[in-house]
Amino acid sequence: MYAITIREPGGPDVLEWTEVPDPSPGPGEVLLDVAASAVNRADLLQRQGNYPPPPGSSEIIGLECSGTIAELGEGVEGWQVGDEVCALLAGGGYAQRVVVPAGQLLPVPAEVETLAAAGLPEVACTVWANVVMHAGLSEGELLLVHGGAGGIGTHAIQVGKALGATVAVTAGSPERLERCRQLGADLAINYKEQDFVEVLRAEGLGADVILDNMGAKYLDRNVQALAADGRLVIIGMQGGIKGELNIGTLLGKRASVFAAGLRFRPLEQKAAIVSSVREGLWPLVEDGSVKPIIGQVVPMAEAAEAHRMLDAGEVFGKVLLAARS
């Protein structure tokens, strides 16, 4: 089969479409013929040598995919060869074939094309695990989403609205903010021109849940923006890894700060998240309340160009890599 490999750590040009050995499923695993994968920020970090995969996982980039089950490993039940699925991966998605633990498979939702489904598993599991399973977002609460125009952000807006929350977002241009409004955002904040803390205060609002991809840069202001009993969930470090935390403010608000990745969780935790996503979120996808937001589709062999697009902030939603011509 062919896959994208990394010649050496570096820029997009180090990605190469080369022939590699076919994987084979072990016990509890399935082999997929990949229809498409999707590009995530973590992929850019791995390409640069800053985010190695978990021990024992594929060295090939790619945290999600869609495709068709080609082979079942020993002991796999509930799936059949030929099923159209999408999958959460620890790696290996930028390839024509990939092996997946059966607990990380999801059926392609009704009314969603198999290609587009490649853009769902990573954002769905990240948002659902953090915003719903951990932070417990409920109807009537305010959800603040940083990076509202990205893959995580566009998904979180829809999930928040589907659950009956008020949704505020930050993004970097009037055009991107308007598209966030079209997805359901109630309050759109231009982070290049406005301070989100001041905007929320002017509206008399505090955030019950904040989904943050920035980390250190936003830590203090995020705590300021929280409502009483608010929950700050940090899922990224685009703004650095070390920040100052005002414990007094946190105590006064009875607030909490939680940080969690998805890729390095144990298999049983990932399977539990995927199961909850299938039970709670998939019906919202199938009735059209939550849709995959696809900004660009490029051939998998041109993954370097897809990385440039994401790095430049040129795409609204997800960038997909099509493995099938």
- pLDDT tens for 62-109 read 999 999 999 999 999 999 999 999 999 999 999 999 999 999 999 999
Q: How far apart are CA 316 and CA 313, in angstroms?
A: 8
Give the per-residue pLDDT at 324. Answer: 80
**pLDDT at site 325:** 66
Give the tens place of pLDDT for each residue, 213-258: 999 899 999 999 999 999 999 999 888 999 999 999 999 999 999 9
pLDDT at 313: 87
Confidence (pLDDT) at 314: 82
290-325 pLDDT tens trace: 999 999 999 999 999 999 999 998 899 999 999 986
The amino acid at 261: G
Span 2-120+292-322 CATH architecture: Alpha-Beta Complex (3.90)
Q: How far, in Å, are 160, 187, 225, 296 from residue 181 at the CA level?
A: 13, 8, 21, 20
- Average pLDDT value over all residues in the chain: 96
- pLDDT single digits (tens) 16-70: 999 999 999 999 999 999 999 999 999 999 999 999 999 999 999 999 999 999 9
Other CB atoms within 10 A of residue 104 CB: 23
Quick: pLDDT tens for 110-127: 999 999 999 999 999 999
DSSP codes, 131-188: IIIIT---TT-EEEESSTTSHHHHHHHHHHHHTT-EEEEEESSHHHHHHHHHHT-SEE
Question: Domains of the chain: which residue ranges?
Answer: 2-120+292-322, 124-259
Same fold, 2-120+292-322 and 124-259: no
CATH for the 124-259 domain, from 3.40.50.300, 3.40.50.720, 3.40.50.150, 3.30.413.10: 3.40.50.720
Q: Nearest-CA neighbor of 319 among 56, 59, 61, 106?
A: 61
Helices 174-183 and 151-162 pack at an angle, to 10 degrees, of: 40
* Angle, CA of 125, 220 and 217, to the nearest 5°: 65
Model pLDDT, residue 90: 97
Q: What is the pTM of this model?
A: 0.96
Instruction: Give the 3-state secondary structure of 107-135.
Output: ECCCCCCHHHHCCCHHHHHHHHHHHHHHC
